Amino acid sequence: MPPAIAEPAFSNLEPVAVWTHFARLCRIPRQSKAEGPLRDEIRQWALAKGLVVRVDGAGNLLICKPPSVGREDAPVLVVQAHLDMVCQKNPGVAHDFSRDPIRPLRRDGWLVAEDTTLGADNGIGVALILAVLEDASLVHGPIEALLTVDEEAGMGGARGLEAGVLKGRLLLNLDTEQWGEFFMGCAGGLDVNVRREGTAEPLPPGFEAWRIDLGGLRGGHSGVDIHEERGNAIKLLVRVLRDLERRWPLRLADLHGGTARNALPREASATVVLPSRQVETLAASLASWQSLLRLELLGVDEGLNIVCAPASVGRVMSAQDQALWLASLHAAPHGVRRWSRRVAGVVETSSNLGVVALDPANGSCNFMVRSLIDSGSSALADEIVSLFALSGTPAETAGHYPGWAPNPASPLLALCRSVFRQEFGDESRVQIIHAGLECGLIAASYPDLDMVSFGPTICGAHAPGERVEIASVGHAWQLLTAILAAVSSPGAAR
């Protein structure tokens, strides 16, 4: 890897090496927990270049590049990104993420995937690192390239990173998505998983089955985009169903929505049964709800649509199960719970109802809770657990990962800001992000690491239509290579 760029979208893009590597990543499936083929290909590529390669017990790939001549005494610098991507597609799109390549388009200065996620999160970070590893002209000290696995589905790679694997005490994380900003801290989080067995009942006589689909929402990242108050398809459809069941003897056969606990749900669907005499008014009721919700989401998610079609079912949920699930899902917290009082304009605590799957025999739903303060995420998660306990529904927390505590006095941050100023003649911004970066987990095993995160501008991560600003990738490359040289220069502040 990589031979040449074949996709027209990548032709004549600069820097060539970075885009060539990203084009190759677009051809290799890399779902979370299935990064093996990509990792193996990168491993063989690195070995062919004479680099030292190691795969640890968690499946992370560590590639070591020796220093350039004259920089042998420079500190070891870790550059880090994750191999996996969130796999989302629009309804009706025949894309198989386990085998089909991502086919981006170039549009108005952006590289975009129209009907799927692009994987710029964090494929661009990986491509930047691979370009560094192969470029013999760069000036730098010893480099450890850490490519982690399973970031998007629980941060399993960073969680399993053992103490002593890394020698460096400086780390650049390349997994943030706003050019011109350096990140020095992030939220931690945990999952809340709810599961309940149900009681199936036969279809009532004289009832007809209909499928209701609610979609057309933007979706997005459950941390970075949570403050925009975009529509949650699950929460909205539950509102509709609760209204319909108050008016008619409606029974619920199933309810499904969302695909990932860390993505805002874009679609949800339910199969309901209702008396045949009410069928004629169902479409009118849904049209009224569509108008109402579009008004509520004005300027945020106006593409919302609700449609219905005849369906076929044999059994429905019991009336008790239906009432408990709809009430609990309606009452469950979603969105921003608290804004930070220490960092202006930053969300402190939030929750995302990301996935629901209900049928007559079983039901489950999954939340992701985030906070800049561990006690904040723990308290909100316990609130969700307690809510479902009221109905006797078991819920448990899992997958806790710590936040990354900010260090405004970081020498690496000061150096990065100085380099940015020299390269671009402008001041950078310093931020804390309401999303999970692997820095928090890595710091748990390496508490002395001095870490900074940056990257190009990426919009719509975790949702179809994800795009990366082409010019910002070139800027990120310029900045990265300049930081490598500055860190390794004699007398650099470290």
Show which of 401, 433, 457 is a domain's final residue.
Answer: 401
Is residue 249 within 8 Å of residue 379, measured between CB atoms? no
Mean pLDDT of the 344-349 span: 92
Look up the domain containing 419 and give its range.
Answer: 8-186+404-488
CA 40 – CA 94 distance, rounded (Å): 27
Whether residue 494 is contained in a domain is answered as no
Q: If residue 336 lies in a helix (H) or strand (E), which one and from where to where?
A: strand 335-339
Show which of 371, 401, 431 is a domain's final residue.
Answer: 401
- The answer on pLDDT for 464 being more than 90 is yes
Q: Render pLDDT for 45-68 as a digit per residue (tens, 0 to 9).
A: 999 999 999 999 999 999 999 999
Between helix 120-134 and helix 470-488 the angle, nearest 10°, is 50
Q: Supply the CATH number for residue 289's domain.
A: 3.30.70.360
Token duo for residue 37 = 């083929």
CA 350 – CA 377 distance, rounded (Å): 8
Q: Are residues 114 and 219 in the same domain?
A: no
Which positions are annotated as active-site residues?
A: 84, 151
CA 299 – CA 205 distance, rounded (Å): 44
Q: Are residues 250 and 333 in the same domain?
A: yes
Mean pLDDT of the chain: 95
Q: Are residues 426 and 458 in the same domain?
A: yes
Q: Which of 30-39, 282-291, 397-406, 423-432 has the lowest mean pLDDT?
A: 397-406
Q: Are residues 194 and 182 in the same domain?
A: no
Q: Are residues 387 and 301 in the same domain?
A: yes
Query: 211 pLDDT band (50/70/90 cuts)?
Result: very high
Q: Are residues 395 and 408 in the same domain?
A: no
Mean pLDDT of the 9-31 span: 96
Which segment, 6-10, 339-343, 425-429, is predicted with the most confidence on average?
Answer: 425-429
Nearest to residue 291, comparing CAs of 240, 253, 337? 240
Query: 444 pLDDT band (50/70/90 cuts)?
Result: confident
Please name the residue that has the structure tokens 């997958």.
399
Residue 48 neighbours by CB under 8 Å, 6+ apart: none
Backbone torsion region of residue 477, taken as left when φ is above 0, otherwise alpha when ψ lies between -120 and 50, otherwise beta: alpha
Q: Supply the CATH number for residue 408's domain.
A: 3.40.630.10
Instruction: Flag whether the pTM goes above 0.85.
Output: no
pLDDT at 490: 85
CA 143 – CA 166 distance, rounded (Å): 10
Whether residue 2 is contained in a domain is answered as no
